[in-house]
Structure 1
Amino acid sequence: MSKFIIGCDRSQIPLFASSMDQAIAQDNQVRLIDLFVDSLKLADFGFDFSFVENGRPAYHPADLLKLFIYGYLNRMRSSRVLEKECD
């Protein structure tokens, strides 16, 4: 069992649709955000990866940072607006 919620593979093709990776344009800013955050060593910046495994797994801090940066760049301050963007 994983400490963090594991997302689906972006290159996996669901039934009757294209993959998430194909749905996002090559020049979309989310690709840059993804590469940038993946290149960071988050532990060096004080991110804590030790969570108590009690109940539902937590989201990985890198995923939350990507979402925060996306919201900041697009002037989305509300968590509800960010939630709608993720659907």
Structure 2
Amino acid sequence: MKPYPTEEELPPISSLNEIDFSAIYSYADYMRFAFEERLEIIKGHIFTTSAPARVHQEVFGVIFYQLYDLLKKKPNPIDCMRTLLSV
């Protein structure tokens, strides 16, 4: 039985044109991608992704700041969880 090749034995995938979108990929395959396009693997299938929209980034920033501000004021993690769950 032939063992699965190691990362060093597999060449990098340097272009989006080398991707077979009907194939199943693993995280090890994903780590071989050497190009700038944004892709994600869901249950082995490759999907192209776009950058988050500006509105998404703004909403995320507001939520992050609110949580950061809340957690900064609470020295005990249990108090933080109680506060978050009571909202």
TM-score band by shorter chain is under 0.3
TM-score normalised by the chain length of structure 1: 0.24
With a CA cutoff of 8 Å and minimum separation of 6, indicate the structure with the bigger relative contact order: 1
TM-score normalised by the chain length of structure 2: 0.24
Q: Which has the higher strand share?
A: 2
Bigger radius of gyration among the two: 2
